[in-house]
Amino acid sequence: MTTAPVAAGRAAVVCGIGAELPPHIVTNADLTAGLDTTDEWIRSRTGIAQRHIAGADLSTGDLAVRAGAQALADGQPVTVEALVVATTTPDRCCPATAPAVATRLGLTGIPAYDLAAGCTGFLYALATGAGLVATGTVRTVLVIGADRLAALPNPEDRTTVPLFGDGAGALLLRQGSADEAGALGPVVLGSDGTGADLIRASRPGALHMDGSEVFRHAVDRMATASRQAATAAGWELDDIDRLIPHQANSRITAFVARRLGVPEDRQLSDITETGNTGAASIPLLLARSAADGRLKPGHRTLLTAFGAGLTWGATTLTWPSLRNSHPTERGRT
């Protein structure tokens, strides 16, 4: 499915970014104390060297508030009129996490809702946020991806524990025009419930994943969605300056880039430092690479993700000039 802006020329434009990683870092070496694994296996099969882990005192909502506050501080001064929180790990089954996050950000009264689409959640949330702007429902929307995925695996399962980390990232969107830097292009979204059992968790500590099947689907779906999003934006694949894929496994993202013919140095990554942070992964990578200079204003940027559901998505934007915010700038690695 492709969503196009409703009113010609009107678009949702990125005008602020924020990111938050829990301070506690668990390295691969730390994991070998309790799991039959090695740093070499994890690095070579996944690209991951460490992950940030939230303690019991740091909820998904806490991470979301910190990332959202950064996006508001770093964005142009605007009144936020809606909030979407993409998460697979809400603080409670009921109520949703977003209204409490909104209130803690001083935004009581605005529409605020959660959205669950696995690791594709941030792109689904961007699409609905952009839709609110395109229809004129609101003029500004804060989109946050926040997850504590490290809580999902069985702590004794070496095939899943090393993969996941915790974090949150946010983009602030405002109403603008489609020809501005920062304007989101059409968003390609899809799902396939026949693969629902491939990644599933009935509760924290009970994640089941068919790794090799998920790997195959992830490469196929992200490559196809990326082509569709580029076409919908009127781009050739050669036009892509920066590919920002969901960070699930560095081998998956390398395959996606190769399928698209995107050179290695244009495919950005931070999985070594963060592991798979779910709905937070894309905004975290955007924030880190904008902060360290790999992503610059004017870069034609393609975002793509895949996750439980199965779900997938992709979209485009020309990276705008923003004040950047990433925890690395605030002294974290």
Catalytic residues: 119, 246, 276
- State the DSSP H helix or E strand holding residue 103, giving kind and residue range, or none if neither: helix 98-104
- Beta carbon of residue 156, minimum distance to ligand COA (angstroms, whole number): 12
- Our CB check for ligand COA shows the closer of 141 and 218 to be 218
Contact status: 212 vs ligand COA (CB under 6 A)? yes
Residue 210 and residue 150 in contact, taking contact as beta carbons nearer than 8 Å: no
Contact status: 248 vs ligand COA (CB under 6 A)? yes
- Choosing from 45, 104, 208, 258, the residue that interacts with ligand COA (CB under 6 A) is 45
CA 323/CA 333 separation, integer angstroms: 19
CA 121/CA 189 separation, integer angstroms: 10
Contact status: 218 vs ligand COA (CB under 6 A)? yes
The first and second tokens of residue 67, run together, are 């990332």
x/- track of binding to ligand COA for residues 96-135 (CB under 6 A): -----------------------x----------------
Residue type, 151: A
Distance of CA 249 to the CA centre of its chain: 14
Query: Residue 320 gets which letter from DSSP?
Result: P
How many chain residues are in contact with ligand COA, going by CB under 6 A? 22
Residues facing 11 on adjacent strands: 176
Contact status: 33 vs ligand COA (CB under 6 A)? no
- State the DSSP H helix or E strand holding residue 314, giving kind and residue range, or none if neither: strand 311-318
User: Which stretch, 10-18, 37-45, 175-183, 316-324, contacts ligand COA (CB under 6 A)?
Assistant: 37-45
Q: What is the number of the residue whose Cβ is closest to ligand COA?
A: 211
Contact status: 61 vs ligand COA (CB under 6 A)? no
- Our CB check for ligand COA shows the closer of 145 and 162 to be 162
Closest by CA to 116, choosing from 142, 143, 89, 92, is: 89
- Our CB check for ligand COA shows the closer of 15 and 126 to be 126
Tokens 């500004």 belong to which residue?
140
User: Which stretch, 11-19, 128-136, 174-182, 206-214, contacts ligand COA (CB under 6 A)?
Assistant: 206-214
Residue 156 CB contacts under 8 Å (≥ 6 apart), including other chains: 34, 35
Separation in Å, CA 304 to CA 121, 123, 244: 11, 8, 6
Binding to ligand COA (CB under 6 A) within 262-281 occurs at 276
Binding to ligand COA (CB under 6 A) within 141-200 occurs at 158-159, 162, 199
Residue 191 and residue 138 in contact, taking contact as beta carbons nearer than 8 Å: no
The first and second tokens of residue 68, run together, are 């959202």
Residues that bind ligand COA (CB under 6 A): 37, 41-42, 45-46, 119, 158-159, 162, 199, 209, 211-212, 214-215, 218, 248-249, 252, 276, 306-307
